[in-house]
């Protein structure tokens, strides 16, 4: 039995894999504690998992329109999140996490939780880094599509040097952002260390890539001892977040007609939805199709008068998406995983961060189409949906991918890898 601290930060897409792992670790007799935002306390404890609050708290961002607009800026969102919000608060995160890790046997970290590697070093604690999406592995053999530089993917065919040059520039730029981390390390009597945004986030003990090798093949320049486990998913709403409104009504809607198109922006991008749902309604109305809109806690959900369109704040992806004709989503890695497992074609409308890379991988697999966020107008959506659903190859490839993923057990593989020799 081991005391294991799982430290994460972000949306449900960042929390849910850690929660799934913690539940399995507890089942195996270990003592997991999830160290994350206060906003998730009740959700985590409802599963019988120990919780510890680590700043900053994503709950303080809810309703902050200006912040959310910056966070989901297509080009500069990641810079704002890291440079202006997370990195300046690394010392308070260290204070909280160091206390949680007292007496721990293992720490599992997150790419955006920068205190984790420092706590592990100070406490001489074994730690495992987590990669939720392939983009953050920064492979020159399989270079990611970078939101601030979408143009660069057209140059990748020229050779590995293209992304290697981009990495060099990124190392210089993010090194400037990381000054709060370097100051904290100096204060603690530690050497400066490597860039915490790039190579510094990966543990010498190993990294678990919580996605399928069918989604992104392992590469020679992945961080040392990286293991692709398969996707790790969890999609209960949980305590403190309310029940899915009208779940019985949704079931009746699904049973009453043809499979609908599901439109969702996940748990975070939905707070900066713009006209996504309004344009979606116009598109399916034009096509004469049924639809389900998952609008989250949108203050002004779209006005829908048609009985062929169902609007709700939330529904478990694992139950809903397999019954969809197609899913239109933002490309967050958690949503991608559930959409791939569902075996239905998808259309991805990437908002920011890792989402353009996830979208491109889905497109290259031949089971998805991509629409740029700034081009998301009903005419474009209707045209692309018609192409997606009118070509049987998309549905066939989606089913084949789902069959491959069904053979993987990402949760068990990840938990077993933690204690492998």
Q: How far apart (Å, rounded) are the C-alpha atoms in residues 208 and 225?
A: 8
Q: What are 356-390's pLDDT values in tens digits?
A: 999 999 999 999 999 999 999 999 999 999 999 99
Q: What angle do CA 104, 109, 110 make, to 5 degrees?
A: 155
Q: How far apart (Å, rounded) are the C-alpha atoms in residues 343 and 225?
A: 31
- The residue out of 193, 228, 263 marking a domain boundary is 228
Whether residue 224 is found in the same domain as residue 261: no
Q: What are 221-264's pLDDT values in tens digits?
A: 999 999 999 999 998 765 443 444 456 889 999 999 999 999 99
What is this structure's pTM?
0.94
The token pair that represents 127 in the structure block: 């730690």
Q: How far apart (Å, rounded) are the C-alpha atoms in residues 6 and 121?
A: 16
How confident is the model at residue 65, as a pLDDT?
84
Whether residue 254 is found in the same domain as residue 158: no
How confident is the model at residue 238, as a pLDDT?
53
- The residue out of 198, 228, 258 marking a domain boundary is 228
Count Cβ atoms below 10 Å from residue 160 Cβ, excluding itself. 14
Count Cβ atoms below 10 Å from residue 53 Cβ, excluding itself. 14
How confident is the model at residue 237, as a pLDDT?
63
- Strand duo 207-209 + 226-228: pairing: parallel
Closest to 26 in 3D by CA, of 38, 14, 34: 34
Whether residue 222 is found in the same domain as residue 350: no
Whether residue 362 is found in the same domain as residue 215: no
* Residue 414 belongs to a domain: no
Cβ neighbours of residue 338 under 8 Å, at least 6 residues apart?
233, 235, 317, 318, 321
b (16+ CB within 10 A) / e for 200-225: bbbbebbbbbbbbebbbeeeeebbee
Whether residue 281 is found in the same domain as residue 213: no
What are the C-alpha distances in Å from 410 to residues 101, 219, 416? 25, 19, 10
Whether residue 271 is found in the same domain as residue 389: yes
Q: Which CATH number is 160's domain given?
A: 3.40.50.2000
10 Å CB burial of residue 274 (0-12, 13-18, 19+) is middle
Q: Could you identify the residue written with the tokens 């490839």?
A: 397
Count Cβ atoms below 10 Å from residue 352 Cβ, excluding itself. 23
Q: What are 80-119's pLDDT values in tens digits?
A: 999 999 999 999 999 999 999 999 999 999 999 999 999 9
* Residue 273 belongs to a domain: yes
How confident is the model at residue 243, as a pLDDT?
42
* Residue 330 belongs to a domain: yes
Number of domains in the chain: 2
pLDDT (average), residues 397-420: 96
Whether residue 148 is found in the same domain as residue 274: no
pLDDT > 80? residue 309: yes
How confident is the model at residue 306, as a pLDDT?
78
Whether residue 119 is found in the same domain as residue 183: yes
* Residue 132 belongs to a domain: yes
Could you tell me which residue, 180 or 307, shows the higher pLDDT? Answer: 180
Whether residue 333 is found in the same domain as residue 383: yes
Whether residue 283 is found in the same domain as residue 317: yes
Lowest-confidence range among 27-41, 55-69, 273-287, 294-308? Answer: 294-308
Whether residue 44 is found in the same domain as residue 149: yes
* Residue 411 belongs to a domain: no
* Residue 196 belongs to a domain: yes
Q: How far apart (Å, rounded) are the C-alpha atoms in residues 46 and 135?
A: 32
How confident is the model at residue 368, as a pLDDT?
97
Q: Is-contact 288 306, C-beta < 8 A?
A: no
* Residue 420 belongs to a domain: no
**Mean of pLDDT over the chain:** 94
What are the C-alpha distances in Å from 324 to residues 154, 329, 374? 33, 13, 25
Q: What percent of the chain has pLDDT over 90?
A: 87
Whether residue 266 is found in the same domain as residue 221: no
Count Cβ atoms below 10 Å from residue 167 Cβ, excluding itself. 16
How confident is the model at residue 239, as a pLDDT?
42
Q: What range does the domain containing 153 cover?
A: 3-228
Q: Give CA torsion, residues 261, 354, 140, 221, to 10 deg.
A: -100
* Residue 120 belongs to a domain: yes
């Amino acid at each position: 039995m081991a005391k294991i601290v799982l430290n994460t930060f972000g949306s449900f897409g960042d929390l849910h894999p850690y929660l799934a792992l913690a539940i399995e670790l507890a089942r195996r007799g270990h003592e997991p504690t999830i160290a994350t935002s206060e906003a998730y306390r009740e959700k985590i404890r409802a599963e019988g998992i120990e919780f510890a609050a680590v700043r900053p708290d994503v709950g303080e961002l809810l309703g902050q329109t200006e912040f959310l607009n910056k966070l989901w800026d297509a080009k500069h969102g990641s810079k704002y999140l890291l440079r202006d919000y997370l990195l300046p608060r690394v010392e308070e995160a260290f204070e909280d996490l160091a206390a949680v890790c007292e007496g721990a046997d293992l720490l599992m970290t997150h790419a955006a939780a920068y205190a984790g590697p420092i706590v592990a070093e100070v406490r001489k604690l074994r730690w495992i880094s987590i990669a939720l999406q392939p983009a953050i592995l920064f492979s020159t053999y399989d270079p990611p599509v970078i939101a601030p530089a979408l143009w660069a993917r057209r140059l990748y065919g020229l050779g590995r040097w293209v992304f290697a040059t981009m990495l060099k520039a990124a190392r210089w730029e993010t090194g400037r952002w990381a000054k709060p981390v370097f100051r904290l390390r100096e204060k603690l009597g530690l050497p400066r260390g490597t860039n915490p945004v790039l190579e510094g986030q990966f543990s010498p003990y190993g990294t678990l890539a919580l996605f399928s090798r069918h989604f992104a093949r392992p590469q020679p320049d992945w961080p040392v001892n990286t293991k692709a486990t398969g996707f790790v998913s969890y999609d209960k709403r949980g305590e403190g977040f309310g029940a899915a409104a009208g779940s019985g009504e949704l079931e009746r809607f699904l049973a009453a007609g043809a499979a609908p198109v599901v439109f969702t922006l996940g748990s975070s991008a939905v707070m900066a939805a713009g006209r996504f749902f309004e344009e979606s309604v116009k598109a399916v109305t034009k096509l004469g199709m049924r639809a389900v809109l998952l609008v989250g806690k949108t203050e002004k959900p779209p006005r829908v008068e048609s009985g062929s369109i169902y609007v709700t704040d939330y529904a478990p992806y694992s139950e809903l998406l397999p019954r969809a004709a197609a899913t239109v989503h933002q490309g967050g890695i958690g949503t991608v995983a559930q959409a791939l497992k569902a075996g239905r074609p998808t259309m991805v409308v990437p908002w920011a961060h890792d989402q353009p890379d996830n979208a491109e991988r889905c497109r290259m697999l031949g089971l998805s189409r991509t629409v740029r966020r700034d081009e998301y107008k009903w005419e474009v959506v209707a045209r692309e949906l018609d192409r997606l659903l009118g070509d049987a190859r998309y549905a066939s490839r989606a089913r084949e991918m789902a069959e491959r993923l069904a053979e993987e057990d990402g949760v068990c593989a990840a938990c077993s890898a933690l204690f492998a020799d």
